[in-house]
Amino acid sequence: MPPSHAAPLARLDRDPWAARLPHETRAALLAALRPRLYRRGEALFRQGEAAAHFCCLLEGELEVSTVTPTGRAHVLTHLFPVRWFAEMSFLDGLPRSHSVVATRESLVAAAPRAKVLRLMETHDALYRGMVGILCENMRLLFMRVDEFQKRSVEALAANTLLNYVPDARAGAVEISQTTLASLIGASRQSVNACLSRWERAGVVARSYRRITVTDLDALRRIAAA
């Protein structure tokens, strides 16, 4: 489905975070947002750049990644709409810790940092709201670290897949095996072998760039093991 050009910010009407802001604050923030369409593969910003915007993904999908000092790129996670992001750099003013790239055509609304900072001077709720987003993301990150203390590809793949299921339609997670492997830092072959085993057991179905979860409970059991 192509992103809607007519009323780009319309999707924010149903965003629970924005809804919790005072009416006037919310209106002021929305007025500062500038929507922009990104093509597949296009970068929103790169690791190391200065924080310049507070952003919201309205449609599409974004990939958050880092390059290690040695040059290898690691995918941290993917973002799905509606999702506010880039709040950490915004709040502490330090350079971006990650690169963000559109993995498909995506609609992103961005508010310039200077403008939002000025807004915050009079709208305290905006600052507090952003801290709320930060806390939420930090709790997710803690869960992520927890998952990594299981080292088997089986458990890691199951956990990662489960994290993506909420953003999937009908249990079909649109992710390549190669990317899934990169998310957990394993080789694509071992991930493939794992999925192959699961398919034989009737837990998932594989197809090109897509994994369909057919037995969610079984997957959960594998993830917990």
Helix (H, G, I), strand (E, B) or coil at 38: strand
**In the chain, beta strands by DSSP E:** 34-38, 43-45, 53-59, 62-67, 73-79, 83-85, 99-102, 106-112, 172-173, 204-207, 210-213
How far apart CA 56 and CA 15 sit, in angstroms, is 10
Footprint on residues 82-141 left by a second copy (CB under 8 A): 88, 91-92, 94, 97-98, 131-132, 134-139, 141
Q: Which of 189, 202, 214, 224 binds DNA (CB under 7 A)?
A: 189
Part of the chain binding DNA (CB under 7 A), chosen from 3-11, 64-72, 128-136, 179-187: 179-187
User: Max alpha carbon distance in the chain (Å)?
Assistant: 59
Among 36, 37, 46, 66, binds a second copy (CB under 8 A): 66
Q: Could you tell me the smallest distance in angstroms from the CB atom of residue 219 to DNA?
A: 16
Kindly state whether residue 187 participates in binding DNA, applying the rule CB under 7 A.
yes
If contact means CB under 5 to 8 A according to the sort of partner, which of a second copy, DNA, none does residue 73 touch?
A: none
Determine if residue 37 is left, alpha or beta; phi over 0 gives left, psi from -120 to 50 gives alpha, anything else beta: beta
Regarding 207 and contact with a second copy (CB under 8 A), the answer is: no
CA atoms of 21 and 126, how far apart (whole Å): 7
Beta bridge partners of 101: 43, 63
Positions in the binding site for DNA (CB under 7 A): 39-41, 151-154, 176-179, 185-190, 192-196, 206-209
Binding site for a second copy (CB under 8 A): 66, 68-70, 74, 76, 88, 91-92, 94, 97-98, 131-132, 134-139, 141-142, 144-146, 148-151, 182, 184-186, 224
